């Protein structure tokens, strides 16, 4: 472990407990005061002051990441080399990619990742070895329909072995090796019978199912912290859940298409009147009111004023079942994507207008460019409008086909990629 030059390890051990606790309290108090001062500067009318706050946030985050890396490297360095865990093949590929992207030498790469330079050299020599180095997804992975064809052929012709099946498929125009045929046969697909699907897929009568756009809406609240967390060492051991320590974000999503209908950013926990105002703007923007609104039993939704407002709008409020999984899973999954794909990849600004702009960009990308597994790979705007924006489908089996992968970024945001394929001239 690294200590300041004027402080030895023995001196640190002789510090009394109250001094060590004081150090933690001072750091937490400094963190609290920094957020307050930055929140004032972030709302300044002077652009230079606002840019200074953004720079300070970036410098602080970079400094914290460097310190985290230094501590982890120090722990790894104290472990004998022959006792350290080996890098898996995927990580070795990533290390070689970083080495190529940054122009590191063997010695630099070995020093950064705490390995011997000869190890890096051996990885480069054996970069085509599938056992030593692998990509996360095999480049030559077969589509799922190939597995289905092999398994059906084995069922219909059980006397055919793996090589015979591979040869017959090669004659039919599908090139596949015998080892892949053996792997597909060992992992069969066992589809459910129609009776099992009918019985297992039967839903209770009280479950609300979206049948068309704007039929069922979900609404929920989440917290987006402006820093890395809320905990502090002094009473009451956490920071208040309000600005400038965090924002409250309300999101409305259409169940049928997964489209974001509307959102709002609040400095503290909104009340029922603010939520009803947000829903009113969303209804005006969508051109119609939903038949159902599903939410949790928060005080904003589970109150007489909200139910009265829903009755006046001819909306039926529904509430997620307490303790049951899946009641409001659609919007909870969307909020999880919001935090993992946006909130944790940017510096959360201390100006509410800036955060609203960043969330607006993410939700626009979410609606127009992000495919969803729950709606069979479509984007929410395609299912909501009923108009498919999918480009021309390419025949990947055409040997003369040459495609160019084009990756753009929405409004120059690296976490919002827009992927397209073009035929090479």
Query: If DSSP codes are grouped into helix, strand and coil, which group holds residue 223?
Result: strand
Per-residue pLDDT of the chain (425 residues; tens, 9 = 90+): 455 554 555 555 556 667 777 888 888 888 888 888 888 888 888 989 889 988 998 998 899 889 988 998 888 889 888 888 889 888 888 898 888 888 888 999 898 898 999 999 999 888 877 778 877 666 566 777 778 788 877 877 777 788 878 877 777 777 788 888 888 888 766 554 444 444 444 544 467 888 999 999 999 999 999 887 777 776 666 778 889 889 999 999 999 999 999 999 999 999 999 999 999 999 999 999 999 999 999 999 999 999 999 999 999 999 987 656 667 889 999 999 999 999 999 989 999 999 999 999 999 999 999 988 888 888 999 999 988 776 666 666 677 777 777 888 999 998 999 888 777 76
At 3 the pLDDT is: 52
Which pLDDT does position 198 carry in this prediction?
47
Q: How far apart are CA 111 and CA 312, in angstroms?
A: 68
DSSP 8-state code for residue 340: I
On whether the CB atoms of residues 147 and 184 are closer than 8 A, the answer is: yes
Nearest residue to 58 via CA among 321, 342, 282, 349: 349
Residue that has been written with the tokens 């909104």 in this structure = 270
Tell me 231's DSSP state: B
Kind of pairing, strands 216-225 and 292-295? parallel
Q: Which residues contact 304 (CB under 8 A, 6 or more apart)?
A: none
Position 299 scores a pLDDT of 93
> What pTM did the predictor assign?
0.64
Provide CB contacts within 8 A for 127, sequence distance 6+.
Answer: 96, 133
Report the half-sphere exposure of 156 (CA within 13 A, side-chain side). 7
Exposure letters 143-174 (e unless 16+ CB within 10 A, then b): eeebbebbbebbeeeeeeebeebbeebeeeee
* Cα distance between residue 322 and residue 393, in whole Å: 45
Q: Which pLDDT value is given to residue 90?
A: 85
CB neighbour burial string for 100-111, b if at least 16 within 10 angstroms, e if fewer: eeeebebeebbe
Give burial (CB, 10 Å; 0-12/13-18/19+) of 411.
Answer: exposed
> 34 to each of 10, 21, 27, 60, 227, how far by Cα in Å?
32, 20, 10, 11, 11
Burial 34-62 (b: 16+ CB within 10 A, else e): ebeebbebbbeeeeeebeebbeebeebee
Position 1 scores a pLDDT of 45
């Amino acid at each position: 472990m690294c200590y300041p030059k004027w402080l030895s390890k023995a001196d640190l051990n002789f510090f009394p407990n109250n001094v060590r606790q004081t150090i933690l309290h001072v750091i937490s108090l400094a963190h609290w005061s920094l957020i307050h001062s930055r929140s004032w500067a972030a709302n300044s009318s002077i652009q230079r002051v606002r840019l200074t706050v953004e720079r300070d946030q970036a410098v602080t985050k970079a400094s914290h990441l460097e310190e985290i890396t230094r501590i982890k490297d120090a722990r790894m360095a104290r472990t004998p080399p022959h006792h350290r865990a080996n890098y898996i093949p995927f990580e070795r590929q990533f290390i070689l990619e970083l080495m190529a992207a940054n122009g590191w030498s063997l010695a630099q790469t070995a020093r950064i990742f705490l390995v011997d330079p000869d190890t890096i050299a051996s990885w480069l020599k054996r970069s085509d070895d599938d056992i030593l180095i692998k990509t996360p997804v095999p480049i030559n992975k077969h589509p799922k329909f190939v597995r289905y064809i092999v398994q059906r052929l084995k069922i219909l012709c059980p006397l055919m072995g793996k090589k015979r099946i591979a040869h017959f498929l090669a004659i039919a125009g599908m090139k596949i090796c015998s080892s892949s045929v053996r792997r597909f046969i060992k992992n069969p697909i066992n589809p459910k019978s129609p009776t099992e699907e009918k019985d297992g897929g039967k839903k209770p009568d009280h479950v609300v199912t979206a049948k068309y756009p704007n039929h069922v809406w979900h609404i929920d609240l989440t917290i987006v912290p402006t820093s890395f967390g809320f905990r502090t060492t002094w009473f009451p051991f956490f920071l208040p859940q309000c600005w400038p320590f965090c924002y409250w974000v309300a999101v409305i999503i259409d169940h049928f298409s997964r489209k974001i209908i509307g959102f709002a950013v609040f400095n503290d926990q909104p009340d029922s009147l603010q939520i009803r105002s947000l829903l009113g703007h969303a209804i005006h923007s969508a051109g119609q009111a939903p038949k159902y609104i599903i939410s949790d039993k928060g005080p904003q939704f589970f109150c007489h004023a909200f139910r009265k407002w829903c009755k006046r709008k001819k909306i039926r409020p529904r509430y997620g079942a307490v303790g049951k999984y899946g009641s409001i899973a659609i919007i909870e999954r969307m909020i999880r994507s919001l935090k993992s794909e946006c909130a944790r990849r940017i510096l959360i600004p201390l100006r509410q207008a800036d955060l609203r702009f960043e969330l607006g960009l993410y939700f626009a990308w979410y609606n127009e460019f992000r495919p969803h597994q729950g709606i069979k790979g479509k984007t929410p705007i395609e299912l909501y409008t009923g108009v498919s924006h999918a480009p021309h489908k390419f025949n990947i089996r055409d040997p003369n086909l040459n495609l160019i992968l084009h990756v753009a970024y929405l409004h120059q945001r690296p976490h919002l990629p827009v992927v397209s394929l073009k035929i090479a001239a």
